[in-house]
């Protein structure tokens, strides 16, 4: 059943977050409609985001990153196994799972590992868990933190505008929750996961998804039967109509970001929509956030850095009862860690995530 949609500026998180749950997911199958056909002289450019995506007036789309697909068997330098799973028999909603290769502590006990549900970045319009970049990155996180990871594929704009990405992400979270009694469809979750230690994380647009899901989970009406222990927002994609701090000095990147939300969410193109500006006027209080711990990661040279710090300060003052911390990487830009996993700063970021995930590690059996 589809829940009734509330009005956008009600004080409850459901007021706007239910907008991304407006469709029955079983009736909205995911499609792979990416086209990279060479341009023709007749077609004009309708939308152009250099290095990311270009859309032509004849409907053709060129994506310039995040289009490669590697199989789950692709070797990594980390001791993990991986496989792809379908999350909904009525659609192609899917995910890539990662299981660290660990010695059995006691054959009479199931392993009890943290669970990470991860949402990739890409401005809501590019990339997937199946790219080489995310395959190797999530493998590295799963191995370092010794956790099970579910890396979620969601539909992309402009073929599937917002709220499609939110709908798919919510459906994926419901699939995860179906394993809470160790009786779900996926053995890796049934046999290995401690559902008292579930985390959500994402980078850029994926971090935006994590925030919005966690706000929804803070409302008892949207309880899915599991608690979220913590969330990690890595270089989160938040924005607003009024430029802040260093945004005023980086006009080219500011102009790029200004156009992105209206492109991926044409039905609500305002950069102060609460889903993209969670601290703007009319946004629900961050005190609704449905988890106990938050880690925000920002990068010094990222145009989105100011928004991450503002979110940190707003959450700290909101009356939310959890613990929030922030980590800034000096000298680096947006999503730097994805493109050179071996560099010292990327390794430091991955280790910081692992410490966050394992802070409440129970005693070994």
Q: Is 204 a catalytic residue?
A: yes
Mapping DSSP to helix (H, G, I), strand (E, B) and coil, where does residue 355 land? helix
Across 8-12, 293-297, 300-304, least confident range:
8-12
- Residue 83 lies inside a defined structural domain of this protein: no
**Mean pLDDT along residues 124-153:** 98
Tell how strand 53-56 and strand 45-49 pair up.
antiparallel
Residue 35: inside a domain, yes or no? no
- Residue 32 inside a domain? The answer is no
At 5 the pLDDT is 25
Q: Could you write out the three-class secondary structure of 14-45?
A: HHHHHHHHCCCHHHCCCCCCCCCCCCCCCCCE
pLDDT exceeds 50 at position 8: no
Confirm whether 65 is domain-assigned: no
Question: Residue 146 pLDDT > 90, yes or no?
Answer: yes
Least-confidence region, from 28-37, 89-98, 171-180, 326-335: 28-37
pLDDT above 80: residue 233: yes
Q: CATH code at 234? A: 3.40.50.1820
Is residue 47 in a domain? no
**Mean pLDDT lowest for which of 31-35, 158-162, 308-312?**
31-35
Domain assignment of residue 169, yes or no: yes
**Residue 171: which pLDDT band, with cuts at 50, 70 and 90?**
very high
Count the Cβ atoms, other than its own, within 10 Å of residue 328: 15
pLDDT band at 362 (very low <50, low <70, confident <90, very high): low
pLDDT value for 111:
73
How confident is the model at residue 104, as a pLDDT?
A: 58
Kindly tell me if the per-residue pLDDT of 234 is higher than 80.
Answer: yes
Res 31 pLDDT > 50: no
> Per-residue confidence at 107, pLDDT binned at 50, 70, 90?
very low
pTM of the model: 0.90
Q: Is the pLDDT of residue 1 over 50?
A: no
Q: What integer pLDDT is reported at residue 43 of this predicted model?
A: 83
Per-residue pLDDT, averaged over 90-107, amounts to: 83
Write down the catalytic residue from 91, 204, 283, 285: 204
**Which domain range does residue 201 map to?**
88-102+111-358
Q: Is 72 among the domain residues?
A: no
* Residue 342 in tokens: 């071996």
Q: Minimum mean pLDDT among 31-35, 40-44, 307-311: which range?
A: 31-35
Q: How many domains does the chain have?
A: 1
pLDDT digits (tens, 9 = 90+) for 258-283: 999 999 999 999 999 999 999 999 99
pLDDT above 90: residue 141: yes
Q: Identify whether 297 is part of a domain.
A: yes
Phi, psi of 253 (to 5 degrees): -70, -30
| DSSP per-residue letters across 224-278 | -S--EEEEEEES-----SS--GGGGG-HHHHHHHHHHHHHH-TTS--TT-TTT-T
| pLDDT band at residue 221 under the 50/70/90 scheme | very high
Closest CA to 334 of 294, 298, 295: 298
pLDDT band at 309 (very low <50, low <70, confident <90, very high): very high
Q: What is the H or E stretch that residue 279 is in?
A: none
């Amino acid at each position: 059943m589809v829940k009734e949609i509330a009005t956008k500026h009600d004080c409850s998180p459901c007021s706007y977050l239910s907008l991304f749950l407006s469709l029955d997911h079983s009736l909205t199958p995911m499609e792979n409609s990416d086209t990279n056909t060479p341009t023709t002289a007749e077609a004009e450019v309708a939308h152009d985001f250099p290095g990311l995506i270009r859309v032509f007036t004849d409907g053709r789309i060129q994506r310039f990153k995040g289009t490669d697909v590697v199989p789950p068997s692709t070797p990594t330098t980390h001791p993990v196994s991986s496989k792809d799973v379908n999350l909904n028999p009525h659609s192609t909603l899917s995910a890539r799972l990662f299981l660290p290769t660990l010695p059995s502590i006691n054959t009479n006990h199931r392993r009890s590992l943290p669970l990470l549900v991860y949402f990739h970045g890409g401005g809501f319009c590019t990339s997937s868990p199946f790219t080489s970049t995310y395959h190797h990155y999530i493998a590295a996180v799963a191995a370092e933190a010794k956790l099970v990871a579910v890396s979620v594929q969601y539909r992309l704009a402009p073929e599937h505008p917002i709220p499609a990405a939110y709908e798919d992400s919510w459906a994926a979270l419901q699939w995860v929750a179906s394993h809470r009694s160790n009786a779900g469809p996926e053995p890796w979750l049934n046999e290995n996961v401690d559902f008292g230690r579930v985390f959500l994380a994402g980078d850029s647009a994926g971090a935006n998804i994590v925030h919005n899901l966690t706000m929804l989970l803070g409302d008892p009406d949207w309880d899915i039967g599991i608690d979220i222990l913590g969330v990690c927002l890595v270089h989160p994609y938040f924005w607003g109509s009024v430029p802040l701090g260093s945004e005023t000095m980086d006009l080219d990147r500011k102009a790029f970001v200004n156009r992105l939300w209206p492109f991926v969410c044409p039905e609500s193109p305002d950069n102060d929509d609460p889903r993209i500006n969670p601290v703007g006027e009319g946004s629900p209080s961050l005190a609704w956030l449905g988890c106990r711990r938050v880690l925000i990661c920002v990068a010094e040279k990222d145009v989105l850095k100011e928004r991450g710090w503002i979110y940190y300060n707003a959450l700290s003052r909101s009356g939310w009862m959890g613990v929030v911390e922030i980590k800034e990487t000096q000298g680096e830009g947006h999503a730097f860690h994805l493109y050179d996993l071996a560099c010292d700063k990327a390794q430091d970021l991955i280790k910081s995530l692992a410490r966050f995930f394992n802070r409440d590690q129970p005693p070994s059996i």
